[in-house]
Amino acid sequence: MTKTRLLPLDRRAFVGGAASLVAAPSIVRAQAKTLKIAVLLPRSGLYAQGGQGCHRGALAAPKVLADMGYAVELVHVDVESSADVARTQAEKAINEGAQCIVGAFDSGLTLAIAQVCEQRQTPLVINIAAAPQVTEQGYKFLVRNFQTGGQLVSNGLRLIKEVSAATKVEFKSAVFVHANDTFGTAQRGAMDAIFPKADMPFKIVENISYDPRAQDLSVEVTKIRGINPDLVLAVTRASDAIKLVRDMVRQRFEPKAIISPGSPGLYDEEFYQALGPLSDDIMFNLPWANPKSPVTQALEAAYKTVNPNNRFAVDAFNAGFTLEALLIASDAFKRAGTADGPTLMQAIKATKITEHVMIGGPIQFDEKGQNPNIGSAAVQNQKQTPVVVYPDAVAAGKPVLPMRGWQGR
Residue 409 in domain: no
- CB of 254 closer than 8 Å to CB of 228: no
| 250 and 174 together in one domain | yes
Confidence at residue 12, expressed as pLDDT on a 0 to 100 scale: 35
How many CB atoms are closer than 10 A to CB 322? 32
Q: What are phi and psi of 53, to 5 degrees?
A: -60, -45
- 193 and 136 part of one domain: no
The pLDDT of residue 83:
96
E-assigned strands of 251-321?
Answer: 257-260, 283-286
Taking 3-state DSSP, the helix, strand and coil percentages for the chain, each rounded to the nearest 5, stand at 45, 20, 40
Q: Encode burial over 64-84: b for 16+ CB neighbours within 10 A, e otherwise.
A: bbbbbbbbbbbbbbbbbbbbe
Q: Is residue 395 part of a domain?
A: no
- In this prediction, residue 109 carries a pLDDT of 96
Segments forming the whole domain that contains residue 273: 150-286+378-390
> Tell me, what's the pLDDT at 22?
37
CA-CA distance, 158 to 377, in Å (whole number)?
Answer: 10
Same domain, 54 and 133: yes
Residue 398, domain member (yes or no): no
Q: What is the pLDDT of residue 186?
A: 85
pLDDT of residue 292: 85
Count of C-beta atoms within a 10 Å radius of residue 112: 22
Q: Give CA angle at 194 (193, 198), nearest 5°.
A: 145
Whether residue 276 sits in one domain with residue 183: yes
Q: How far apart are the first and last CA of the chain?
A: 44
The CA distance from 352 to 65, in Å, is 16
Read off the pLDDT of residues 165-219 as tens digits, 9 standing for 90 and up: 999 999 999 999 999 987 888 889 999 999 999 999 999 999 999 998 899 999 9
Residue 407 in domain: no
Going 5 to 11 to 13 to 19, the CA torsion angle's sign is positive
> 250-301, pLDDT tens digit by residue?
999 999 999 999 888 899 899 999 999 999 999 999 999 988 899 999 999 9
pLDDT score, position 10:
41
- CA distance linking residue 342 with residue 302, whole number of Å: 32
- Count of structural domains, the chain: 2
Residue 198 lies in a domain: yes
pLDDT tens for 61-71 read 999 999 999 99
Residue 22 main-chain phi, psi, to 5 deg: -85, 125
- Residues of the chain under the 70 pLDDT cut: 1-32
Query: In this structure, what CATH number is given to the domain that contains residue 108?
Result: 3.40.50.2300
- Confidence at residue 51, expressed as pLDDT on a 0 to 100 scale: 95
Same domain, 177 and 313: no
For residue 118, tell me if it sits in a domain.
yes
In this prediction, residue 117 carries a pLDDT of 98
Instruction: Please answer whether residues 121 and 341 qualify as being in contact, where contact means their C-beta atoms are separated by less than 8 angstroms.
Output: yes
Q: How many residues does the chain have?
A: 409
Asked if the structure places residue 237 within a domain, the reply is yes
